Chain A
Amino acid sequence: MSSERVLILGAASAIAERTARLFAAAGAHFFLVARDPAKLEALRLDLAARGAGAVHVRAQDLAEIRAHGELLDQARAALGEIDIALLAYGVFSDQQRAERDFDEVLRVLHVNFISAASLLEVLARYFEQRGQGCIAAISSVAGDRGRQSHYIYGASKAGLDAYLQGLRNRLYLRHKRIHVLTIKPGLVATPMTRDRPKNFLFASPERVASDIETAIRRRQEVLYTPWFWRPIMATLRAIPEGLFKRLRL
């Protein structure tokens, strides 16, 4: 198998970084996009030392939708073609702030949903034209059911989830060889959850990364990671609204 060419959007995310390492060990080439040049440099050296082929980087705030088209052109020029695109960036919402300040709602929806949709649109066009490839995007179990504690974040991820369902459907009908993977992590111990008290439900980013790699290899459609979130979320979804609205989850 020739080396895979991987585009990572939000390469500084702990989950994305651990996933990239797995592909690096197999000699993949990378185009990494993140905001902070110092982080990109640390990532570039690490992946190279782990056995990656070429590692290209670009510092970019992905909330800037206007940059997306040119970004993809640059990634294609650097890698030749793209085999796997992993969309990993995201922000958690400050629910209390969101209830007072609509700018917080706009920010979360813009980063997690609107800017992601813009990138996925650009990617879909590219993969459609190429006729093959893999789009993997990180949504969240939080999108499976809105809860009072984080429903702005949940809504942004639910939007992404529905978007990916539609995209998968659209691409399959045209090109059976394009794979769309929706990744739904549960609780992962990463900078995003730094200040939350940890319990046994938290998984390591390494564990989640290894599940993501397997799901990409097996062309899975929807990944709950770790696996036990699938039954947990099925149970939560089955609770009728009349009861659910009384719960403090």
Chain B
Amino acid sequence: MEHLRSFSGWPPSRPARVVVLDWRHETPDWNQETFLAYGRGRSYGDCCLNENGILIATRGLDRLISFDAETGLLCCEAGATLADILRVSLPRGWFLPVSPGTQFASVGGAIANDVHGKNHHVRGTFGRWVRRFELLRSDTGRSVCSPQEHAELFQATIGGLGLTGLILWVELQLIPVPGAFLDVEALPFHGLDEFLTLSASSPAWEYTVAWADFASGRNFGRGIFLRGQHCATPAGAIEPPPSPRFTLAWVPPFPLIIGPLVRAFNVLWFQKNKAQKHSPVHYSRFFHPLDALGNWNRLYGPRGFLQYQFVVPQSGGDKACREVLDCLRRSGLDSFLSVMKVFGAVPSPGLLSFPLPGISLCLDFPAKPAVFTLLDKLDTIVLKAGGRVYPAKDARMSPASFQAFFPNWSRLENLRDPRFSSSFWRRVTGDRS
């Protein structure tokens, strides 16, 4: 039995057992408690963990079922990763409609967190592109869910944190692209206002995102705004391999991501990227720069780290962001990788989907007490602004905060498979059992 952990290594947790499902016609023995699907563990917090419960590993459910190269409709098992899909679809001219920052997430995980990408302002969330899926529940067995059939379960499963049952297979609409490359522009900026202006002036770009230096020091707040568009593969281009070039095989006994290195990294990143203005970039470099170093998360050492991503509504959002950044700056803590993105108005289909139209900011920190205190403060600011914190990246928000961020949580609780639960769910619903 292998040790299934979350991507951030925090909180440390062990399931009582791991059940591996290798074939979609198989059914686990439900005569035990409690179950939770585990995709590829690319969630940062405890939504993919089930302390003392059973994790159903879906890694073996990675088969394709059909792919229509005329229409771009793809059907695959829920454990297939985004990389698995691209390997088959891209040579035939089809790309994922939504790409999160890692291609090692599974399709099931992408639905359960209703993930978003750099094109949220154009395409919305991953769930919008899901046509149907099959759900396996301990109480009602198998059912195919779509906006037409079992619509309520369909809606609750998208962004449903794995609680409505096990997704077995998924039918997904892909988008046509001219090649494997993107035409990318990198624009340096200083401060939140410049970032917002750049975002507002880039509606025609398919992808927009900003990386910002929120490590303490005098460069605080400067960043690089990236915008990209699919373009044809340049003649003679060699496709970089999709698998990691280097992999960290062990967790170092102490954190390697520490203040001075974080600051130096951010300075280097800025210098490197401000120099290259306009260029064709392979999609994996653009979307998944972190995947190039396999297990980079282990650099944080055995104690792991915390990510914090929130979104605040457009109106008043800039004020809230400024408050957050003030708070961060005063704390003296260094965020290693900080990403900003303006979400668009395309509605999210899920009951508990995270995105809403507004400004989103993502930070990461080593898991230490001062960070927990800071993040509690930030929760208050986000709440006041009418925003929310992303469960896929959370390991610490309070039940009160969660329930205020996601008032629909009780509807999901009603549709939850009675035998399914997660460490996250028990924590944010205040269930101590």
Bin chain B's interface residue count: 10 to 19
Q: Per a CB cutoff under 8 Å, which of B1, B22, B25, B64 touches A46?
A: B64
State whether A49 and B64 are in contact (beta carbons under 8 Å apart), knowing that A42-B23, A42-B24 are contacts in the complex.
yes
Determine whether B341 belongs to the interface, using a CB cutoff of 8 Å to chain A. no
Decide if A195 is an interface residue (CB 8 Å cutoff): yes
Residues of A within 8 A of B25 (CB): 38-39, 42
A63 within 8 A of partner (CB): no
**B76 CB contacts on chain A under 8 angstroms:** 49
Contact present for B1 and A198 (CB under 8 Å): yes
Of A38, A45, A197, which one neighbours B66 at CB under 8 angstroms?
A45
Report if A49-B88 is in contact (Cβ < 8 Å); known contacts: A42-B24, A42-B25, A191-B22. yes
Tell yes or no: B139 within 8 A of A by CB: no
B49-85 Cβ-contact flags toward A at 8 Å (1 or 0): 0000000000010011111000000001000000000
What residues on A are CB-neighbors of B65 within 8 Å? 42, 45-46, 49
Instruction: Answer whether A38 and B23 are a contact pair too, CB < 8 Å, given A50-B88, A197-B1.
Output: yes
Measured between alpha carbons, how far is A198 from B67 in the docked complex, in Å?
A: 35
Residues of A with C-beta under 8 A to B198: none
- The answer to the question of A14 belonging to the interface, with a C-beta cut-off of 8 Å to chain B, is yes
Does B428 belong to the interface (CB within 8 Å)? no
Q: Is B431 an interface residue (CB 8 A)?
A: no
Judged by a CB distance under 8 angstroms, whether A194 is at the interface is yes
Q: Which of A46, A49, A50 has the most CB of B within 10 A?
A: A49
Complex CA distance for A221 and B264, rounded to whole angstroms: 52
Q: Nearest chain B CB to A228's CB is how many angstroms away?
A: 14
How distant is B257 from chain A, measured CB to nearest CB, in Å?
A: 24
Q: Which size bracket describes the interface of A in this complex? A: 10 to 19
Per-residue CB contact flags for chain B residues 1-32 toward chain A (1 = under 8 Å, else 0) read 11000000000000000001011110000000
Interface residues of A in 179-214 (CB under 8 A from B): 189, 191, 194-195, 197-198, 200
B23 touches A39 (CB 8 A): yes
- Establish whether residues B64 and A50, one from each chain, have CB atoms under 8 Å apart when the complex forms: yes
Q: How far apart are A230's CB and chain B's nearest CB, in angstroms?
A: 21
Q: How far is the CA of A200 from the CA of B251 in the complex (A)?
A: 13
B20 lies within 8 A of A194 (CB): yes
Q: Tell me whether B66 and A49 are in contact (CB under 8 A).
A: yes
Q: Which of A37-81 contact B (CB under 8 A)?
A: 38-39, 42-43, 45-46, 48-51
Q: Which B residues are in CB contact (< 8 Å) with A43?
A: 63
Q: Which residues of B contact A189 (CB under 8 A)?
A: 2
Q: Give A242 to B46 CA distance when docked, in angstroms.
A: 52
CB proximity of A206 to chain B, nearest CB, Å: 10
Measured CB to CB, the residues of B under 8 A from A are: 1-2, 20, 22-25, 60, 63-67, 76, 88, 249
13 contacts between A and B (CB under 8 A): A38-B23, A39-B25, A42-B24, A42-B63, A42-B65, A46-B63, A46-B65, A49-B67, A51-B88, A191-B22, A194-B20, A195-B1, A198-B2
Q: A-side interface residues toward B, CB under 8 Å?
A: 14, 38-39, 42-43, 45-46, 48-51, 189, 191, 194-195, 197-198, 200
User: Which are the 9 A-B pairs with shortest beta-carbon distances?
Assistant: A49-B64, A46-B63, A38-B25, A49-B67, A198-B2, A46-B64, A45-B65, A49-B66, A42-B63
Given contacts A38-B25, A195-B1, 20 further A-B contacts (CB under 8 A): A39-B23, A39-B25, A42-B23, A42-B24, A42-B63, A42-B65, A45-B65, A45-B66, A46-B64, A46-B65, A48-B66, A49-B64, A49-B66, A49-B88, A50-B88, A191-B22, A197-B1, A198-B1, A198-B2, A200-B249
